[in-house]
Amino acid sequence: TLFGKNTTAGALNITTQAPSFTPEGRAELSVGDYGFLQAKAAFSGPIVNDKVAARFSVVSTRRDGVLDNATTGQKQNGQQSISLRGQLLFQPTDQLRVRLFADYADLTPDCCTQVYVRVGDTQKPLDQRFAALAAGRGYRPASTNPYDRIADVDGAIQADQ
């Protein structure tokens, strides 16, 4: 086989664009539903002619949530993130190239809230017992209608890398 035993597709090789000694840049802005806004930019150029070049890129994304949280009254499954990446290219001779990388990401999503699609049959159906058990603990049971787009959560996820 081309990729080896028990392999479906092989390896995925992602190569980032290296800093350039020719000044260059690009920017992109995207907007969409639910307050979606994404900005991307990358700039590259020489620091020391033909010896040191740098590249800097940034991506910022935000989107309002798409589910109503019955517990907090806020929207869930929103996005808010920023990612930064810097590179330096040292090329003291034609035979030697050294690249240094640094990156940072701050991810603050209201992530991973789900709604019920349907309730399966069990010996003691969830519809009969869950609502009473949840209400007894002070929770508002989530709707079993997926088109209501209502959830009941009180946690948060944040990642600083």
Please indicate whether residue 32 or residue 154 has the higher confidence score (pLDDT).
Answer: 32
Q: What is the pLDDT of residue 158?
A: 60
Alpha-carbon dihedral sign for residues 31, 32, 37, 40 = negative
Spatial distance between the Cα atoms of 143 and 151, rounded to a whole number of angstroms? 7
Q: What is the pLDDT of residues 104-125, one digit of tens each?
A: 999 888 777 777 666 566 666 5
Whole-structure pTM value: 0.69
Mean pLDDT is lowest, of 7-11, 89-93, 99-103, for 7-11
| Structure tokens belonging to residue 50 | 């033909």
The confidence band for 1, taking pLDDT boundaries of 50, 70 and 90, is very low
Q: What is the pLDDT of residues 92-105, one digit of tens each?
A: 999 999 999 999 99
Q: What is the pLDDT of residue 33?
A: 92
Instruction: Considering only the C-alpha atoms of the chain, give the largest distance between any 2 of them, rounded to a whole number of Å.
Output: 75
Nearest CA among 87, 90, 80 for reference residue 111: 80
Instruction: Extract long-range pairs of 133-137: CB within 8 Å, 24+ residues apart.
Output: none
The answer to whether 76 touches 68, Cβ cutoff 8 Å, is yes
